[in-house]
Chains A and B, each alone.
Chain A
Amino acid sequence: MAATVTAPPLKPYPVIPILEVGAMGKTKTFPANAPMQQALGFPGELVEDWHDKAIFKLGELLGKYRSLKVYLDACVHCGACTDKCHYFLGTGDPKNMPVARQDLLRKVYRRHFTWSGKWFPKLVGAEDLTKEVLDDWYSYFNQCSECRRCSVFCPYGIDTAEITMAAREIMDSIGLGAKYTNEIIGKVHKVGNNLGLPGPALADTLSSIEEDLKEETGLDIRLPVDEKGAEVLLVTPSADFFAEPHVYSLMGYAKVFHAAGISWTLSTHASEAGNFGLFIGNYGQMQKIATRVREGILDLGAKRLVVGECGHAWRVAYNFWNTLIGPFDFLDPNYPVPQHICELTYDLIQRGAISFDKSANDRYVVTFHDSCNVARASRMGGMPGGQFEIPRAIVRAVANKFVEMNPETIREKTFCCGGGGGLLTDDLLDLRVKGALPRMEALQAVVESDGVNFMATICAICKAQFSKVLPYYKFNMSMVGGVHQLVGNAIRLGPK
């Protein structure tokens, strides 16, 4: 299974690949074992009557999600999406074209739920759900990062992420889950975060980061945890506690709170902003994970809810929390709920409440990688597109040298890092490396033209993915980091 990992050569300009049928058909993420499945209430292994169960589940989802029903009907095979997916561009496998990925589910939908597919299957491309088709589902619906780039370009807004989520939900319901996502969801339920980091260990980690901050700044910059009565509860991806470069952004948040004099706390109960329930398309799981946040803030009595740098977490927080765990009528109505850490920092900059020594970042020529879920599935600030402007405004406020990448690869047209949507696992490393190709090509261009040596981003998955993948393209892995890493470098601390 551990296939060789190869990075395609970087080309000076993007080229749509020649089709390589079946190139990624053998690439399958590790399946979840029985205990992992059962912990989430899914069957432990492929059930005997999987065919009928799957069709039944599809029918149930069609009744619950308008998106699925409309998206399965509306496609005209126009081809607008065919060259938009980073996994297709990186692998050349035609089943990684968004429309072809959708068709894996659509052909079964047509066969069982449409009149034309029942009577004229060959004509409309309808097919039975055979073992081979199910195999394809497992391969290719676990090769979609649910980044929504295709949906930007579809004339009907068909979002492959919705189809992928439905397919994963169906597969989970018949016992065919992915190890990476389902094991992690189990950890959140049991321990409270994706890393499986228990409360005492978290407190230890935070106090050692406080020591590092003391050493660096000479100041007592705190990383409070479970402090009742703090104004702000910060919910951040647990990678921020442990992984590099994530932890530098965590330090950056702490410095911002310190400099602005805002009392804040983390929570051991709600120690995870990430919500992998999204990735497997399961409303119940997503709600159960999010409920820890509601319980956490009610318990600590904070008045504001702020979310750290994480793409899909921000999607869930911004778009879904109000639905899943709202209403938040007990929180301070003067602030948006939830608020992104970038919104908070930007607001403080606007009010002159924090200031910077930009020269502290002069060793960097910075570019900004828009994270897919922030760019195409959320917002910041009061205006559409604030999710693009606010992080950039922060970067510009804290660093002197900022360069944009090719406009076809940023903002709502941004390319996924290649590791989102529950694919950030080593058994998919070859896919991840190949999927990063479009972003690497755009990065290469600004490295050559402007000497860019730092790619800022606001997503824990992007950070982890790029740290791993950059070396395959002969870049330094420390080129990637958080926006609040740059903020932390430049912010003026101490008495004013």
Chain B
Amino acid sequence: MTPATVFFALLLYAAALLGAAGLVWRIRDYARTPAPLKIPTTPAPTTTGGVVLRMLREVTLFESLFRANLWIWLFGWMFHVALALVLARHLRYFTQPVWFWVEWIQPFGMYGGLAMVAGLAALWARRFLVERIRYISTPSDHLMLALLLGIGISGLSMKFLAHTDIIAVKEFALGLILFDWQPLPVHPGLFVHLFLVAVLIAIFPYSKLLHAPGVFFSPGRNQSDNPREQRHLAPWAAALDKAKV
């Protein structure tokens, strides 16, 4: 076992633990915090089925963003879809035998990597070029883009510049899952890539990446518009209600 293997194995375990625990904590917190009043942004669906559709459009098509600003939508959507494709492509490192659809998307996933980097670069450019966006940007907004770009570029470099031994990488990945560690190939691009990915996973629930679970808990989007038909009463409001009578 090389020191790099031990380092990265422990790093990735720690990151996964930190990320998963934080995410569970945040989601539980959101789920347990009451929403005392009906506040959907209207016009809103009147049924739960309608709400599911609205949410689906929101998280797959970025409907609201599309209506807000075409440029942000274009770059943002491109980045997210490309990221999804890239993540799906990476499933080949974690499945044995590789699922057929994962195999099928391999060539597209590669373009996904390029589109992801292009989208991120454009999103970052906005933070410098558009006065309003420059005003609201914090250092962490920049760093987050740098982190994601670093992951994308280091990943692409292994495809287009200096290949690594991906069979060994896969054995390392499967080994992590099965707690049967296999040696990680020594490769600077791979080291950078894995390190940044670990950072991303670890900070996910402690950063603005919380927008991903957050959107599902947004009362403006996840409430149905039926306040006259159904009395909505959160626990603490119900307690006031009882005290009143």
Contacts and interface: CB of A to CB of B under 8 A. Distances in A.
Contacts of B187: none
Nearest to A322: B231
Interface in A82-111: 82-84, 94, 97, 99-100, 103
Chain B's interface size range is: 35 or more
A283 B140 CA distance: 35
A156 B29 CA distance: 18
A77 B233 contact: no
B207 interface: yes
A62 interface: yes
Nearest to B133: A79
B208 interface: yes
B2 interface: no
A62 B232 CA distance: 19
B61 to A, nearest CB: 10
Contact of A78 (B76, B206, B218, B233): B76
Contacts of B131: 18-19
A474 interface: no
A375 B42 CA distance: 7
Interface string B4-45: 000000000000000000000010011001111111011111
Given A79-B72, A103-B136, A154-B64, A64 B236 contact: yes
Contact of A116 (B39, B206, B219, B244): B206
A81 B220 CA distance: 15
B214 A122 contact: no
B42 A79 contact: no
A155 B35 CA distance: 20
B68 A156 contact: no
Given A318-B228, A319-B227, A378-B42, A77 B208 contact: yes
Contacts of B138: 77, 123-125
Nearest to B208: A76
Chain B contact surface mostly: helix
B62 interface: yes
Interface residues of A, number: 72
Given A63-B33, A80-B65, A123-B138, A74 B215 contact: yes
B173 to A, nearest CB: 29
Contacts of B232: 322-323
Contacts of A158: 218, 220
Given A19-B131, A82-B133, A320 B38 contact: yes
Nearest to A148: B41
Contacts of A116: 140, 203, 206-207
Interface stretch (A25-33, A65-73, A214-222, A225-233): A65-73
23 contacts: A19-B135, A64-B36, A70-B30, A77-B138, A78-B76, A80-B64, A80-B69, A99-B136, A100-B136, A123-B140, A125-B140, A152-B41, A155-B215, A157-B64, A283-B240, A287-B240, A319-B227, A323-B227, A377-B39, A379-B225, A384-B44, A388-B43, A412-B41
